[in-house]
Amino acid sequence: MPRERDYSFEALVEVTGADMQALTQNERGRINKALKELRELNADDYLLADEIHAKAKAWATAYPEIQLTPQALTGQWSSIEKKAADTRRSQIRVVNAPSPPGAGGCICNGDKMVLVGTTADGHEQYAPCPECNSSADADFWRADGSRHRSLDPGLVRERMNQ
């Protein structure tokens, strides 16, 4: 008669990177000792296996440079998900909101583009602001295959003064 699967044991072996076929008696003992502690918290083998995987994923986020061991997992069991959430939160890059129009005293009033003239048929022509957006690449290819190049910041200032 085949033995019933031990999902939580298999999960702990998997997340710690151990080889099920080559476990030493010492490794098996450390895994079983850790599982004894964890089974006191959750007796459902299948749910415990799922929890082990979730905690191991949190471990990889919180301590990417430290190898997960059965004892490390049980030692941080109750706090590992909070530590992972704190780590993720600290890695979020904060981006400042764009300035509202008129802020900073720029000639474009925060629009990043300025009016430089009108075409013969009455269409307005815009270019990147020479003060706050001079490094913008506003070049594009026209439908006929020709390329439109954006104006030099000096030429933009000149056209704005006309």
pLDDT higher at 57 or 146? 57
pLDDT higher at 101 or 141? 141
In this prediction the pTM is 0.57
- The H or E element spanning position 116 is strand 113-118
Residues 6+ away with beta carbon under 8 Å from 147: 139, 140, 141
Q: What is the mean pLDDT of residues 56-85?
A: 94
pLDDT score at 98: 56
Bridge partners of residue 141, in order along the sequence: 147
Residue 96: pLDDT band with limits 50, 70, 90: low
